[in-house]
Amino acid sequence: MATFGFIRHGSTAWNKERRAQGSSNIPLDQDGINEARLVAERLSGESWDVIYASPQLRAKQTAEIIAITLGVDEIHFDPRLREINGGQIEGTTESERIVRWGNNWRELDLGIEQHESVVERGLAAVRDISDANPDKNILIVSHGVFIRKIISELAPALSEEAALLNTAVTVLEENGEVWECSLYNCTKHLRK
């Protein structure tokens, strides 16, 4: 039985501005670096064997901070773990999207990656990672929308409505064909 710890990256300037990041390569801001250090400290009291991460800068930086603290020598960067591609909305705020495309901008074809595409690549990555690491504790450092979509497929009883917080920890355990969630969107490390 594999255990997966999904970690959303630390905060960025665009998070604070509520800009759609998508596939844009945005770095962590100082708060994000501090958040990554705090989640790394928290995880150091647990047993994690391997780290996989999105190669996008904000997730990469978060994973590197965690790896140093945990003493993990290698991070496996997998492009299938990247954030959903936001198409034309990347770099924009909600109010900018409404000005540009109107209140119904979500109904337009703005080049946003389709749900099915995200789920297909994400589930394939999880299967491959699980197969390569049987009975291990695996950290995946990725992105909020991506993680929510994958978790909602693996554990459908969980709602994907609530946004995952920066450096939130979600833990799923694979037990045959069934995935059980033992922790969801937890940021207790940020309340110190």
Domain at 58, CATH number: 3.40.50.1240
Q: Could you say which of 83, 113, 153, 174 is catalytic?
A: 83
Is 83 among the residues known to form the active site? Answer: yes
Res 161 pLDDT > 80: no
Sheet holding 169-175, edge to edge: 75-77, 50-53, 137-142, 3-8, 169-175, 178-186
102 is a domain residue: no
126 is a domain residue: yes
| Greatest Cα pair distance in the chain | 50
pLDDT at 175: 82
* Res. 176 pLDDT band, cuts 50 70 90: confident
- Decide if 164 contacts 170 (C-beta within 8 A): yes
Say what percent of the chain tops pLDDT 70. 98
pLDDT at 96: 96
98 is a domain residue: no
Q: Is residue 20 part of an annotated ligand binding site?
A: no
Res 20 pLDDT > 90: yes
The structural domain count of the chain equals 1
- Decide if 2 contacts 136 (C-beta within 8 A): yes
168 is a domain residue: yes
Q: What is the pLDDT of residues 87-126, one digit of tens each?
A: 999 999 999 999 999 999 999 999 999 999 999 999 999 9
Residue 92, C-beta contacts closer than 8 angstroms, at least 6 positions apart: 19, 20, 100
65 is a domain residue: yes
How far the first Cα of the chain sits from its last, in Å, is 32
Q: Is residue 10 part of an annotated ligand binding site?
A: yes
Q: Is residue 11 part of an annotated ligand binding site?
A: yes
Q: Is residue 115 part of an annotated ligand binding site?
A: no
105 is a domain residue: no
pLDDT at 19: 96
Q: Residue 128: how many CB atoms within 10 A of its CB?
A: 13
Pairing verdict, β 50-53 and 75-77:
parallel
Q: Is residue 8 part of an annotated ligand binding site?
A: yes
101 is a domain residue: no
Is 9 among the residues known to form the active site? Answer: yes
Domain of 62 in residue numbering reads as 3-86+114-191
Q: What is the pLDDT of residues 60-97, one digit of tens each?
A: 999 999 999 999 999 999 999 999 999 999 999 999 99
pLDDT at 159: 67
119 is a domain residue: yes
Res 192 pLDDT > 70: no
